[in-house]
A and B are shown apart, each in its own frame.
Chain A
Amino acid sequence: SQTIHQWPATLVQPVGSPLSLECTVEGTSNPNLYWYRQAAGRGLQLLFYSVGIGQISSEVPQNLSASRPQDRQFILSSKKLLLSDSGFYLCAQISVGSTDTQYFGPGTRLTVL
């Protein structure tokens, strides 16, 4: 079965600092990978998704970017964090070819001060 790892688990960063969140997947190959953000008391917001290495689709224009340097690695980055970037960041994957069930990683809680 597939396992999703995310790190760090928690992060406190000052406004204007850079960001790098990493997600890796085990137990599957060529997964679709997703980054979501969940702000306090709000729903899931899809930020980026990727169907393969180097292929990134952005759902919401903002100061975040994503990269997929390897098949099972998905990175979320920012050059300068804003207060509004605070939230719970979730990496998710779908193993294409079976069912389209989406599984989530444990998440990273980011607080921007």
Chain B
Amino acid sequence: QKEVEQNSGPLSVPEGAIASLNCTYSDRGSQSFFWYRQYSGKSPELIMSIYSNGDKEDGRFTAQLNKASQYVSLLIRDSQPSDSATYLCAVSGGSYIPTFGRGTSLIVHP
């Protein structure tokens, strides 16, 4: 059974701070890793994808992957109230059936 674990939160950070979201996965054969943002009542929106060990930066977002530790994280710099949402981690092993975590709720307070 492939599993993706996330802390459900909520993670509360002040505006301007760095939010750190974490995800662990069980399948060592996983090849692709994704972070989605889901606002309340809306569908998930892809914000980052990462395929190799290390860091990948896109604007205020940085995804970090450590395959040896089976760990992927998302850092959000200069957090804004508009970043308040649920963040879903998804992992794929090339079978085109991603496994999703249950999501971490992020609250950025002014």
For A51, A96, A104, the residue with the greatest tally of chain B CB atoms inside 10 Å of its CB is A104
In the complex, the chain A residue whose C-beta lies closest to that of B44 is: A104
Contact-residue size bin, chain A (C-beta under 8 Å from the other chain): 20 to 34
A101 to B35, CA, bound (A): 11
- Binary flags per residue of A85-103, CB closer than 8 Å to B gives 1, else 0: 0001010001010011111
Which one of A42-50, A62-70, A75-83 is at the interface? A42-50
Top 5 A-B pairs, shortest CB-CB distance: A43-B102, A104-B43, A107-B43, A44-B100, A104-B44
Which of B46, B88, B96, B103 has a CB less than 8 Å from the CB of A96? Answer: B96
Could you tell me if B34 and A49 are in contact, using CB atoms closer than 8 angstroms? no
In the complex, the chain A residue whose C-beta lies closest to that of B88 is: A44
Query: How many whole Å from A82's CB to the nearest CB in chain B?
Result: 23
Could you tell me if A42 and B102 are in contact, using CB atoms closer than 8 angstroms? yes
Q: What residues on B are CB-neighbors of A42 within 8 Å? A: 102
